[in-house]
Each structure stands twice: as structure tokens, then as C-alpha cells.
Structure 1
Amino acid sequence: MPNVKLQNYFHLHFIVFVWGFTAILGELISIEALPLVWYRMLLASGFIYVYIAFRKISLVISRKLFFTLFFAGIIIALHWITFFAAIKVSNVSITLATLSTGAFFTAILEPIFYKRKLIWYEVFFGLLVITGLYIIFNVEGDYSLGIMYALCSAFLSAVFSLINGKVAQQHNPSMVSFYELLSGVGIITVYLLGGTFFGSRVDGFTVSFFQLSTSDWIYIMILASVCTAYAFIGSVQVMKYLSPYTVMLTINLEPVYGIVLAFMIFGESEKMSPQFYYGALLIIGTVILNGIFKNAKKRKTKSTLHNITK
């Protein structure tokens, strides 16, 4: 079992690296956040369905589970919309660093979801991550809108992680991912249809909505297949073995991976200051400390149980 957990921990880090590249694609794709997420979820749900059909995975679920996955799909859709909106109005670095606050949100929400006491070091580590965020960026200019979008995205990511933390323990990750993505794209479709037929402030489905450049199609295909279908199933799978807080705290490495990639690809527009390295080290150190504390706690629990059963 320890080896299985270690394998899943390394797998999670690779998935987080892939997610870091998601922000790069969000910057490269020229369309706005809402249609971008619609294309992403539609294509990703199609890729996952092909995988499900190939593996002959059952899609029969209870009504209660369907509504749970439907709600989770709405949450992940809103998370991605606010995430890409933050990139569009600010930049990759601001967006990814602000997402680090997800650990703090998870530390507060997890005791409510799992009906357990608040653990002091989880809150402390969450605050360390926020401190790391503050150190990384002494924000210049007016990035307040981008930061607000990113904070909303971080909160929604924490909620989604907690919902999936429960669901992943009992159900197939491919099936879970398929229903969540399909639900998300379904809600966005209804919203866009409202703009199409009722003349709301949303443009809705127009001819230009489906007229994408070749580069946009290529980037969206990569986003939907590797960064969504694969990473989505993988992230649900690792939740079978890792706690939601560990998952969320590890995801705080996404800014590190993403900002390094952004600097390599976009150059001066994503140039990092020395404060970035201080903040990045604080975030990485927090992830390591979290693992040390949790392992120590588990060893203590096992030792106590062993002594009782003697």
C-alpha cells in the first residue's frame, strides 16, 4: 500500500505539471473563456466516452449519484471559466499564483465536508501558501479583476476537490469524469442557447463562434485530450489513495510549473522577480511539510492501534 500511495503521489505531480501547461494553452488560444471551456469540455467528454466504450465501463448510475456529478460538473465548469477569464484579463503568473489560495479554502472546507475537527497545521500550511503568494507578487498595475477571478477559481477548485474526494472512493474515475464534463458542457450550452434565442448580453452560438483558426483548433485538441481527458481521469484516480487536502496542496505546485513554462515560452512578459523564488520555495516547502506531518500522524495512529491490540 505505501508503494501504491507513492506511485499515485508521483502521478499527481505529473498531472499538476500538465495542468501547469493548461495555463499556457489558455494564453495561446485566442477565443474568450466561455467558448474555450465549452470546446474543452465537449471534446474531452467525447474522448472519455471513446475510452469508456473501449474499456466497456458501465455508465449506469443512481439518481442520487447523477445529481452529485451534475453539481460537480457545474462547479468545474465555473472553475475553468473563471480560471481562463483571469488569464485573459491579467496573465499566467498572476492567475496561477493566486490559485495557491485553494489550499487555504480546502483546509477550511474539508472539516465541514468530512465532519471532522479542524486540524491546526492544515490551516497553518494554508496560510503559509498565502504568504508565499504574497511574497511572489508585489502586484504592480491594476490586476484586481484578474486576482478576483483567480480567487473565485481557487475556491471552486477546492469545492470540486472535496466533492470528488468522496465520489472517487466508490466509483470508476472514467465514469465520474464523463458525467461531470458532460454536465458542465450541458449547462454552458443551455446558457449559450439563451443568448442565441433570447438576445441576452451573451453572444451565444453564432457563425463566428465556430470559426476557429488552425492554431486554436490544435491547442484546443491538446487541451481537451491531454490536459483534460487524461489529467481529469488521473486526478480522480489518485483521490482514491490521497486525501483532498494533500491533492489540493500538491496542486499548489501548478504555479511553479506553469510560471516557469510561461517564462520559457513568453519571455519578458512573464519575467519572474527574486520574490518569486522565495515564494516558490515556501510553497514547495509547505507541500513537503504537509507530507511529513501526515506521515508522522499516520505512524502515530498505527503505533497506538498496535499497542492496543497487543
Structure 2
Amino acid sequence: MTNKQIKTDLLILHITVLVWGFTGVLGALISVSAAHLVWYRVLIAFVTLFVYFKWKKTDIRVSREVFFKLFFTGAVVGLHWILFFQAIKSSTVSVTLVCLSSITLFTAIFEPIINRKKISPLEIFTGLMIIAGICLIFTFESQYTTGIICGLASAVCASLFSIINSRQVQNRPAPIIGFYELFGAWIWISLYLAVSGNFNQEMRLRLSDLFYLLILGILCTSVAYVAGVSVMKFLSAFRVALITNLEPVYGIILAFLFFGKREQMTAGFYGGSVMILGAIFLYPVVKNKMGRGRAGR
């Protein structure tokens, strides 16, 4: 793995995270419920990928074992997005995106357990700093309790499927992984909507909804999802999670541009956000210094 390839993957990941930051804005603009929104999103996304595969004449066949692994991972992906958009509709884009930063803590805990690695004290400390920031936000933004809880639960799901995908991408192309996981997410959400009786008139879209959903499904899902998974081949799940935590920065800026005063928060919110983002930016610096210290011994 060359430094040039690492820099390229990091650039791709940053652009992908910027696009992901825009999904929060789109979620606030689309009028249908979170579950209906995600149902449309993954439908557009996996159909887009299918058309791309047909155009490129790509062989998308996988073994039964791999299919079921990706299919069930799709359930986690679908749940993550439903919780994410529900958090936005229950609070604000800014609150949701900051809560999503807790993915760092959950990844620091889950990745060593799943991959049977030693837990890094530095990663745990970074995660705890993020949780402290979220607790501060909880204190000052208590009217958004439901949104904050949904945002944290969404982060748990995101952490889990990021770790799973970091292993899957070692053995198969990212677009194949994305296609089967998105298909799985659509099937699981369809089953939920059918059982709960939510295939109803509330799914009707406005013309503006259709426009925003096409952007969300094609650019922010098909393209960005595959790009995000592909870089996991050479970047660790924790490093991906750290850069993904820049999503609040991009998303909050975009939210201010689109919604103005609606996205203005209390001083406590911004204090918590500084704690979270500070931990994110300081982590690679401290880790690099620790690595140099070991190398010099």
C-alpha cells in the first residue's frame, strides 16, 4: 500500500463524507416519514447500481453464504438510515449529525471484540471525550431528547456495518457489497412497512420530494455508499469512522446555508460540538506521536 494510494483513498472518503453531510439537508426537505423516505432511497439506489452493472456487463453473482451475510447486513444499514432521518425529523440536522459522531466510541468498543484485537486506550479515551460532548448537548438541548436517542442508536448501527464491511471489502468489490446490502435493506424495510400497515397514502410524493429523492438515492447513496465502502480495503474501520465524524462539520455548514436561524443552537450545543470535534482532530496527531515514540525505542 503506497502513500499515494492512502492519500487518494482519504480524499475520496472526505468527498464522500461531504456528500453524506448533504443527506441531512435532503432528509429535512423531503416531506414523507423516515421509513418511507429510506424505502424510496434504497430502491432508487440499488436499481441504479443494477443498471450500472448491466451497462458494464458486470458479473454480480455471489455464493449463497455471501448473499445472506450481505442481505442481513442490509437490515442494519436500513435501520441506521431510518433512525438517522427520524432523528432529523425529531430534532435538527445539526443535533443529529453531532450525535452520529458517537460512532467513534462504538467502533472503538465493537471493532476489537468482532475482530479479536486489543482495545486501544487512546481510542476509548477519544470515544469518551465524544460522549462527554454529547452529554453536554443533552443538558442544553433536552427538548430534542427523542432526536438525540435516535441519533445515538443510528451511530451504533453505522459502527456495526462499517466494521462488517471493512472485512467484506477485502474479498469482493465494493459495488457488489453495496448492491446486495441496499437490496437487503429495501426488502427488510418493505417487510416492516407491510406488517405495520404503512404501505399507504402517506407514501405519496410531491414533485420536490421526487427531485430530492433522486439526488439522495443516486448521488448520496449509490455513488457515495460504494465510494465509502471501497476505501475500507486499505483504511481501518476506526480511521474511516474518525473521518466520517467530519460529517457534522460539513452538514452543519450546509444546514446553515439552507435553513438559517432554524439551525441555530445554544452555547451548550456548540461547546459539546467543540469537545467532539476536538477529540476527532487530536486523535490522529496523538496517535502519530505515539507511533514515532515507539519507532525511536
Both structures adopt the same fold (TM-score exceeding 0.5): yes
Question: Against the structure 1 CA distance between its residues 142 and 275, is the aligned structure 2 distance closer, same or farther, given a 3 Å change threshold?
Answer: closer
Identical columns (%): 42
1:290 to 249, 270, 283: 283
Shift in Å, 1:191: 2.2
Equivalent position SS for 1:123: helix
1:205: which partner in 2?
199
Shift in Å, 1:290: 3.0
**Where do 1:1-310 residues align within 5 Å?**
1-135=2-136, 138-194=139-195, 202-206=196-200, 208-275=201-268, 278-295=271-288
Per-residue CA deviations over 1:186-230 (Å, capped at 9, x if unaligned) read: 111122223xxxxxxx33323x24531100000000000111001
Shift in Å, 1:129: 2.0
Between Structure 1 and Structure 2, whose CA radius of gyration is higher?
A: 1
Q: Partner amino acid for 1:184? A: A
Q: How many residues align?
A: 296
- How far apart in 1 are the matches of 2:172 and 2:224? 17
- How far apart in 2 are the matches of 1:57 and 1:218? 28
Aligned residues: CA RMSD:
2.1
Shift in Å, 1:168: 1.0
Deviates more, 1:184-193 or 1:156-165: 184-193
TM-score normalised by length of structure 2: 0.92
- How far apart in 1 are the matches of 2:90 and 2:277? 27
- How far apart in 2 are the matches of 1:115 and 1:137? 33
Shift in Å, 1:63: 1.7
What are structure 1's unaligned runs of at least 5 residues? 195-201
Shift in Å, 1:11: 1.3
- How far apart in 2 are the matches of 1:240 and 1:298? 22
What are structure 2's unaligned runs of at least 5 residues? none
Shift in Å, 1:56: 2.5
- How far apart in 2 are the matches of 1:172 and 1:85? 31
- How far apart in 2 are the matches of 1:284 and 1:151? 16
Q: Partner amino acid for 1:211? A: R
